[in-house]
Structure 1
Amino acid sequence: MSVTLTSSAADHIHKYMEKRGKGLGLRLGVRTTGCSGMAYKLEYVDEPDQDDQMFESEGIKIFIDPKSLVYLQGTQLDYAREGLNEGFRFTNPNEKATCGCGESFTV
């Protein structure tokens, strides 16, 4: 099972990478934090780590470390704007619950 991007997320990432002037793709991972236990982390990749698993979606390469992949398989990343708010949204079939503020999740 892979990790995918919506066209909106891919467009946003592509524009930002062009603005940066460099980058191979996006690293998606999880870290331990928050009231529910885990939070998503995103960063642009200039050089992949040796153990990274790579997926490609909508023309964007997505890099994930093996420990995070267990929690992220099947996740779709979207980018949305609603009024003054904008940002990435994760649709993760592995999530069992999220915290009230929406910053962390549990599987």
Structure 2
Amino acid sequence: MTEIDLTPSAASRVAAIAQRQGKAAILRLAVEGGGCSGFQYRFGLADAVDAEDVAVERDGVTLVVDSVSLDLVRGAAVDYVEDLGGAAFKVTNPNATAGCGCGSSFSV
């Protein structure tokens, strides 16, 4: 099992955002306390991969997760989904025991 995965759809979206902003194609996923279910995902472009990060690459895009957050998302996949409700990055997390309706927070 891989530590974490980035789908082709998510990689393509990160590459487009990074190019538009003139930044490196590095997406950072972090888990913070909060949200309606206890933890919430935070996404942002990163300037570099830190020494304690776990990094995976797909199609020239790097997904990085710090070691503390990785314990909560190990085995997850980061996807980019467009539907009638809008477009967003989505985490399919096998460790989550409950989630919220909006899909941006979870509990373990």
Same fold (TM over 0.5): yes
Q: What's the offset of the Cα at 1:39?
A: 0.2
Q: What's the offset of the Cα at 1:84?
A: 5.5
What corresponds to 1:96 in structure 2? 97
> What are the within-5 Å matches in structure 2 for residues 16-95 of structure 1?
16-83=17-84, 85-95=86-96
Q: What's the offset of the Cα at 1:21?
A: 1.1
The question of 1:3 aligning with 2:4 is answered yes
Q: What's the offset of the Cα at 1:47?
A: 2.3
Runs (5+) with no aligned partner, structure 1: none
- Which whole-Å CA distance do the structure 1 matches of 2:3 and 2:58 have between them? 9
**Residue 17 to residue 95, structure 1, CA distance change in 2 (3 Å):** same
What corresponds to 1:12 in structure 2? 13
Q: What secondary structure, in the 3-state scheme, does the structure 2 residue paired with 1:34 have?
A: coil
- Which whole-Å CA distance do the structure 2 matches of 1:93 and 1:49 have between them? 25
Runs (5+) with no aligned partner, structure 2: none
- Which whole-Å CA distance do the structure 2 matches of 1:25 and 1:103 have between them? 20
Q: TM-score, normalised by structure 2?
A: 0.88
Contact 1:24 1:47 in 2 (8 A): no
- Which whole-Å CA distance do the structure 2 matches of 1:101 and 1:76 have between them? 17
CA-to-aligned-CA distance 1:7-53 (integer Å, 9 cap, x gap) = 11111001111111122511111000022110001111112333222
Q: Percent identity?
A: 37
- Which whole-Å CA distance do the structure 1 matches of 2:17 and 2:49 have between them? 18
Runs of 4+, deviation exceeding 3 Å: 100-103
Letter in 2 for 1:19: R
Letter in 1 for 2:44: E
Q: What secondary structure, in the 3-state scheme, does the structure 1 residue paired with 2:75 have?
A: coil
